[in-house]
Chain A
Amino acid sequence: MSGLRLFWRKSLNVVMLTLTGVAAFAVVSVLFMILGYLVWKGGSSLNWNFFTKLPVPVGETGGGVANAILGSMKLLLLAAVMGLPIGLIAGVYLAEFGGKSYSFVIRYTTDLLNGVPSIIIGIFAAALFVLPVHHYSTFAGGAALAIMIIPITLRSTEEFLRSVPGSLREGAMALGASKWRTIATVVLPAAKGGIITGVLLALARVAGETAPLIFTVLGNQYWTTGWNQPTAALPLVIYNYAISPYDDYHRQAWAAGLVLLALVLLTNIGTRFALSRGASGGSN
């Protein structure tokens, strides 16, 4: 081989290696830039009042977004209660029972549903749950988020169940376990870590959704009681405060963004930690 070719090969190797490294670094740095910017802009507004008080009119000090934090939690709870069971059970069906053509239709539809822009899901949920009763409600927002959660949960559940080796299923069946018992006592526990991770990622993903909430929960300056009234939510607070003309509100919007991101990150890191600790019988 000529020296030139060897040189060419080696330099190409170095160039590609550098490119992949730079791209990987860029991914990580974007997250840290966002986090850093949020801390810089909104960190000063974070105090005890921010987490415990209701919003106050412009010019007054000491206001917070406590109602929005609680509202977001209620919305996520609704979305989880309505969406997760459907997604999980359908995921089990696709991975363990589905026939060829029927499964293909479900899988394809799910992917399409996953690709529907969130604002359209918002309009749909509004048409279904807001227009007939003539008022915005926490329930309608939860339903919109549940629709978004279903396809994400379904596909991640299916993938993680499929990654469980068939030999485990055979081992259980060879001991006389029925198909359902095999799934419940061997396959699901084996895929537990992945499934929980998928569920949390789905929740984290919809926690930041704004568009589906605009037409369904509206927003609220005050505490919401029950599930049938308009409610505040963190993404809506960010949206409303950011487009307002007041510096004070802008700072609070940054702070709310920081809280939202921190919640998502903490959930993520927390679960991973919990899973790796509790996995003594689980992953290999």
Chain B
Amino acid sequence: MASAMQGKEPIAARLAPRVEEASARASDKEAPVRFEIAGLDFFYGPKQAVFGLSLNIPKNQVTALIGPSGCGKSTFLRTLNRMNETIRNTRVVGQILLDGQNILEMDVVKLRRRVGMVFQRPNPFPKSIYENVAYGLRVNGHKGRLHDLVEHSLRRAALWDEVKDYLHKSAFALSGGQQQRLCIARALAVDPEVLLLDEPCSALDPVTTAKIEELMFQLKDSCTMAIVTHNMQQAARASDFTAFMLDGKLIEHNATSKLFTTPTDHRTEAYITGRFG
């Protein structure tokens, strides 16, 4: 939250011009809903982490999830592709519909093909750049030559020009920002409808962060995105809708422009002006 604490002026004021731009983007069409979440509770063993959360994630838009550490935003994001199932003793109550289908009854492999994920720290596999991108394709049963799909995915992640001559080098040879774009390319390779981004820029420098945000903007044509971020400028710059969470509850959800300029809840206002968190 360093950024929020640097200046005493409200963040909304500093962001105003950009926010208006975002607002124009968000309001010019009423997007259809991709994810429909209703009455979601989530438990780690006996401890409840998400309380009665209801939220619609609109199609081909970026929805940002903000809130202080431990407020349950990452937990919530990870229920959307059922990643939390890999943790023992977790329990989901409520309804999550993806295009009207209940994801809790879906085959998890099919769900994760449709809902890709990018993590906080770049996590390329200890394989070549090419094999990293091809991994999801192979898991999903693609056989034989995948070169065109690999190239297409790397192009979509704006990484192709940087790596096209080193496709068979280890992914570890890339810089942190390139690794993260590789992870995005890897997720895009199976052509997901939704991309979940869990603080994708927290380990990256500002220049690389800008590249990823630019990328998100371009991907909106083909992809719905939900991003967890601690960086409120990022939420304001890169998202169309923002949801503010606190102690496992959804406090406020609105078009990014509205939430940052005229928050209706005093806790949202306190958070975005840097008075806590």
- Mark the stretch among A121-129, A170-178, A210-218, A234-242 that contacts chain B: A170-178
Contact at A175–B126, with CB atoms within 8 Å? no
Inter-chain CA distance A169–B113, complex, in Å, is 16
Contact at B135–A172, with CB atoms within 8 Å? yes
Q: Among A169, A190, A281, A284, point to the contact of B86 (Cβ < 8 A).
A: A169
Inter-chain CA distance A147–B53, complex, in Å, is 55
Residues of chain B from 112 to 150 with CB closer than 8 A to chain A in the complex = 112-113, 116-117, 119, 121, 123-128, 131, 135-136, 139-140
Inter-chain CA distance A181–B117, complex, in Å, is 18
Contact at B123–A165, with CB atoms within 8 Å? yes
Number of A-B contacts (CB under 8 A): 76
B169 at the binding interface (Cβ < 8 Å): yes
Contact at A173–B86, with CB atoms within 8 Å? yes
Do A282 and B125 form a contact, CB below 8 Å, given A171-B119, A174-B117, A175-B186?
A: no
Do A175 and B86 form a contact, CB below 8 Å, given A186-B125, A189-B127, A281-B170?
A: no
Q: State the main secondary structure of chain A at its contact with B.
A: helix
How extensive is the interface on chain A, given as a class? 20 to 34
- Closest A-chain residue to B110, C-beta based? A176
Taking CB atoms, residues of chain B closer than 8 Å to A29 are none
Inter-chain CA distance A169–B83, complex, in Å, is 11
- Closest B-chain residue to A168, C-beta based? B123
Do A176 and B113 form a contact, CB below 8 Å, given A181-B139, A280-B170?
A: yes
Residues of B within 8 A of A (CB): 81, 83, 86, 108-110, 112-113, 116-117, 119, 121, 123-128, 131, 135-136, 139-140, 169-170, 172, 183, 186-187, 190
Q: List 20 A-B contacts (CB under 8 A).
A: A167-B119, A170-B117, A171-B123, A171-B183, A171-B186, A173-B86, A175-B113, A175-B116, A175-B135, A176-B110, A176-B113, A177-B139, A181-B139, A185-B135, A186-B125, A189-B127, A280-B169, A281-B131, A281-B170, A283-B126
Residues of A within 8 A of B (CB): 165, 167-178, 181, 185-186, 189-190, 280-284
